[in-house]
Structure 1
């Protein structure tokens, strides 16, 4: 039961306050005139004014409500480092026991994990949500059990009661991390690009660790190279990309004894390698209808520097015309095939025949160029089966075909072989065929293919397009000069430009056209894994997560030569994929998530949030604190204890209101006091 006096004025409060002022003036006048009953007059006026205010006694039947203490438990990834999870569990159990021992007090527990994506720990958001679910008048305090690494401090709520932080971790903790401060998304092949790395030590670093660290660097999962680098300094690392397309650079620090975690010891940088200018040498042995096909294809690409020579007049033709009048410039054979041959990305021999223009030593240079990593494409015509064929030159050592000296004349439709349906150069080209199939070609050089990969076949299922790898280089042979018919749309044409584009890019070693490749892409937490192969079922892919756990994934054939699957990554970090000889590395989110950017437990970030509530910041390493009740506005924490503020909230079950005095009694009191004033100032005053 609780009683209070309430007012229900008969007149507006403004009128009553005006009457109060007038009454005070009248009493002051009576006092100035020296009237003996001035104080009785004042009491009479006060009674009348009180009657106008109409006071009443309000009585409530109240049911007290319990106080609420909110505990927010940080279950983020950084809380799983070391023994922090055990510290958290023990602290929560101690808080539950302490709150249960307090009278009329309840505990609400909220848990917060890792934020979506790479948001980090949304600790303040969790506290705000927990406060929103409870009446603020009942909240007696809040306790955060965390390592202090919150990433949404700008969302901290206005606290109605003390806020405390129970800090996990150890004062002696230390950690080493790798930071990529600058890494470009694109780089030009052949030109070095500079990455800026930094190795930082945090916490109480042991003196025995030293100021040097072992940094392993690998590209595309190849064997890593290890370097000794200084700690605490910006490292400028020049990198020259080995190939076009996506290059995955992985940096790994050697784990040190005693450091908190090695999750932030690795970093993955993906840089797309682009070619500044592709240098292509096209040598046409004679003018023909298909010559313009190659020229148009290569000239249409602004990134290609094309050097094209066509032999218009063979040496055996003697008609007395001066050589200076036959061409704009002389054919610089020595410069191209001796001095600058290594500068070309691709050499194309288009219907070229041995006529003494290129000496045998020059063709030996071309052969060595291929073995050393160069690429050569031979677009063959009828001359390939003759006595002056390239097949009868030193280049034959690297050619995957042999000529039979037979030229097949007659219409035939090029077709993909079983291998060609799997090979990335020709895979899916049959889907681009017009209605009725590809247009016919009408000439083919008969060849056999003792080695290499036959991806297209022509007349009588004979090899038409053969690809091969020779040492570090690549070579291809197209056994027909009638591809130009597709470009002209003869009988519906065919995918001329797409085939030539893929063929040129495969020869220039573009990664997306490799026959055997394991690739992975990540969108959010979902990893899409693709295995390209020209063989049979490649088998399962092994995925090693950032925590070292290994998972075997079964692939499904989605197209000839293409096997794929998708997998939901359980956490952010670097994942290493392995299938046979193939390796791949993919980072889900950043390689070192925000949770592991700063792993040392610290209350520095939360101190500005706790200070206005007069709460406490205590380390669980020193033991779980006692919980006491303190008055509102007092210091709510001390050595070994934290305090909550009882709120005294209640629910009114019944309310009764009764007039403080009846109206007749107010009137009698006012009349009695007025009469006493009259008598005091009249009869008794005159006697005096």
Structure 2
């Protein structure tokens, strides 16, 4: 029980202050006049003023409350490397035992895991939230069990008691990390682009490993190239992308002996390869209704440089004029088919027939151009089965078809073959058909498939569009010259532009149109894995986590030739997907998350905040500290110990208020003092009269 003196004036304070002023003036006047009882008069007036102030005694019955100690245990990703989990648990067990031994003291434990995104360790946020849940008047201290790598120090709360840090890790720890400081989002094919990266060492690096590191570089999972690079220096790396679309560049630094973790030894950069200008050579053998289909398609793309030659002389015209004299300008055959053939990305022969304009040696060059990685598209017409057919030239060696010399002049609707429903060039084209189906074509050139993949069929199920790979290049044969009917909307038309666009992109080796492909995309930590194939069910995909563990993911069939599944990754980092010979690397968030930018345990970031509360930072490897009670404002840490401040918090159970003295006693005191003054002054006055 405690007692407190309180005032509850019987009159307004302003009036009380005024009366106090009058009383003071009266006492001063009595003193000035030389009245011997002036001090008794002043005391009487003071007693009356105190009585008017109505002093009361407030008595409280208090129930003392225990002190609270908050322990925040950092369980983030960087705390799960080496033996830090065991260190944290041992330190927490010691804190539990020490707090349990203190009288009237409770322990609150808060565990901090990895949050969403790449925010890093939100240590101060966790501490602030823990403080908000407890009465500040009861918080006697807080203990952080962490590696000290907090990423929200700007949110440090105002501590009402000492803050301490028990630091995990070892003084001899060291780590090496790879940082890509600059990487473009896209690059022009054939032109080098410069990436900047850096290899940094942290902590106590072993003497034999300092100064240099082994860096491996791989593109799209191919065999890596290994280089020895200096540590601690910015490196400029020129890279020329091998293909259009997304190119995945993976960088890996060899793991050194005793290194804390390899989670920050790798980086993945995705660069979109774009073509500056696509060079296409279009050779039209003779005028026909569909000739402008190819020209309009290619000219509609501003990034395409089109070289188009049309031979206007009809085959039935025999006037004896030499071929070399049939054009206003000379057909630069040598320049196009010998000197600059490698500069073209695609060569299209549209109803071309042998007329002596292109000698066989030039067509041999075209055949070799394909085997070295070039692409040729043959759009066949009735001439394809004749004696002057392009099939009977050197190009016939790389074509996946033989001519049957038959031409079907009848209406038919092009259809996708079973393989065509799975092939990326024609997959899903049926969904683009009008309600009544694709419009008919009226000419189908008879061919016999000898290789490749027939993705469309025509009359009596015979091959209509055949695709093939030859060496490093690609060849396509379209056995009809009536695709233009779709473009004109005849009988509803069909997906002419989409088919030609896909066909051209497949021939130019765009990755998204590869027949066998493994791809992955991510939204946050949710990964979508897609396997495209023209074969049978490819089976599950093996996913290797950043920490080396593996997950086998089954891929159900989403559509013909496409198998897909979504998977929630447990953490940010670099994942490797494998299925047979196909591999794919994908980074969820940064390949080296913020948690692994700095892995060496250090109290530097927390030092200022801890010092403000007079707390301490101790390494767990030096031994778990004792916990003592210290007075508020005193130093709260020392060698082998940390302190908490008792708060003396309580709950008031009952309050009683009573007058300090009864009213009659105040009046009696005032009257006694006034009478005393009168007697003293009267006695002295009588003595003066007798004298």
CA shift at 1:174, angstroms? Answer: 1.1
Question: 1:314, CA displacement in angstroms?
Answer: 6.2
The residue number in structure 2 matching 1:52 is 52
1:656 is aligned to: 656
Provide the residue aligned with 1:98 in structure 2: 98
CA-based RMSD of the aligned residues comes to 1.7
User: What is the CA–CA distance in structure 2 between the aligned matches of 1:256 and 1:685, rounded to whole Å?
Assistant: 109
Residue aligning to 2:531: 531
Answer yes or no: is 1:121 the counterpart of 2:118: no
Q: How does 1:273-292 map to 2 (within 5 A)?
A: 273-292=273-292
Structure 1's 165 and 33: CA in aligned 2 closer, same or farther, altered over 3 A? farther
CA distance in 1, matches of 2:140, 2:29: 54
What's the TM-score, normalizing by structure 2?
Answer: 0.97
Residue 589 (structure 1) shift: 1.2
- The 10-residue stretch of structure 1 (3-12 or 592-601) with the greater mean CA deviation from structure 2: 3-12
Count of aligned pairs: 688
C-alpha separation between the residues in 2 aligned to 1:315 and 1:488?
Answer: 27
Distance in 1 (CA, whole Å) between partners of 2:7 and 2:622 is 55
Q: 1:27 offset after TM fit, Å?
A: 3.0
Task: State the distance in 1 between where 2:623 and 2:453 align.
Answer: 71
Write the distance in 1 (CA, Å) between the matches of 2:505 and 2:683: 128
Question: Is 1:629 aligned with 2:629?
Answer: yes
Partner residue in 2 for 1:401? 401
Q: Distance in 1 between matches of 2:165 and 2:38?
A: 64
**Could you say what secondary structure the match of 1:441 adopts?**
coil
Runs of at least 5 residues in structure 2 that lack an aligned partner in the other structure: none
1:436 aligns with 2:436: yes
Checking the alignment, whether the CA contact within 8 Å between 1:575 and 1:587 is kept in structure 2 is: yes
Mean Cα deviation higher: 365-374 or 619-628:
619-628
Shift of 1:328: 5.3
The CA distance in 1 between the partners of 2:404 and 2:110, in whole Å, is: 81
Q: Deviations over 1:262-300 (max 9, x none)?
A: 100000111111111110000000111111000110011
Query: Given the alignment of the two structures, is residue 360 of structure 1 paired with residue 360 of structure 2, yes or no?
Result: yes
Gapped regions of structure 1 (runs ≥ 5): none
After alignment, is 201-210 or 88-97 more displaced?
Answer: 201-210
SS state at 2:100 partner: helix
Q: SS at 2:127's partner residue? A: helix
> What is the CA-CA distance between 1:608 and the residue it aligns to?
2.1
TM-score in terms of structure 1 length = 0.97
- CA distance in 2 between counterparts of 1:317 and 1:571 reads 73
Q: Secondary structure at the match of 1:352?
A: coil
**Distance (whole Å) between structure 2 residues aligned to residue 678 and residue 645 of structure 1:** 59
Change (3 A) 1:20 1:319: farther
648 and 385 in structure 1: CA distance in 2 versus 1, 3 angstrom threshold? same
For residues 3 and 210 of structure 2, what CA distance do their matches in structure 1 show? 73
Given that 2:323 and 2:357 are in contact with CA atoms closer than 8 Å, whether structure 1 keeps it comes out as: no
Superposition deviation, residue 461 in structure 1: 0.9
Match of 1:641 in 2: 641
| 1:566–1:457 distance in 2 versus 1, CA, 3 Å | same
- Match of residue 339 from structure 2: 339
- Which position in structure 1 is the counterpart of 2:184? 184
| Within-5 A mapping of 1:345-424 | 345-424=345-424
Secondary structure at the counterpart of residue 411 of structure 2: strand
Task: Please give the per-residue CA displacement for 1:149-185, whole angstroms capped at 9, x wherever unaligned.
Answer: 1111121111111111111111111111001111111
Q: Is the 8 A contact 1:314 1:355 kept in 2?
A: no
Residue 403 of structure 1: SS of its match in structure 2? strand
Please give the secondary structure, in 2, of the residue aligned with 1:584: strand
After TM superposition, give the deviation of residue 16 of structure 1 in Å.
2.5
Q: Aligned-pair distance for 1:108? A: 0.7
CA distance in structure 2 between the aligned counterparts of 1:501 and 1:429, rounded to whole angstroms? 12
Alignment of 1:105-184 (within 5 A): 105-184=105-184
Q: Distance in 2 between matches of 1:116 and 1:674?
A: 81
Q: Distance in 1 between matches of 2:682 and 2:561?
A: 124
Question: SS where residue 292 of structure 1 aligns?
Answer: helix
Task: Note the alpha carbon deviations across 1:106-155, whole angstroms, 9 max, x for none.
Answer: 11111111121111111111111111111111111111111111111121
Asked whether the 8 Å contact 1:283–1:308 carries over to 2, the reply is yes
Note the C-alpha offset of 1:462: 0.8
Residues 407 and 171 of structure 1: CA distance in aligned 2, closer, same or farther (over 3 Å): same
1:264 has 2:264 as partner: yes
Separation in structure 1 between the aligned mates of residue 123 and residue 32 of structure 2, nearest angstrom: 69
Bigger drift between 551-560 and 341-350 goes to 551-560
Query: Which whole-Å deviations, capped at 9, do the CAs of 1:637-666 have from their partners, x for residues lacking one?
Result: 122211111111111111111100000100
Aligned to 2:605, what secondary structure does the other structure show? coil
Work out whether residues 178 and 198 of structure 1, in 8 Å CA contact, stay in contact via their aligned partners in 2. Answer: yes
Work out the CA distance in 2 between the residues paired with 1:24 and 1:629. Answer: 51
- What is the rounded CA distance, in whole Å, between the counterparts of 1:148 and 1:327 in structure 2? 81
Q: Distance in 2 between matches of 1:105 and 1:14?
A: 48
Structure 2 counterparts to residues 440-589 of structure 1, below 5 A: 440-589=440-589
Q: Distance in 1 between matches of 2:490 and 2:646?
A: 91
How big is the shift at 1:326? 6.0
Give 2:242's aligned residue: 242
Deviations 1:320-372 (A, max 9, x none): 98999965543111111111100100000000011000111110110000000
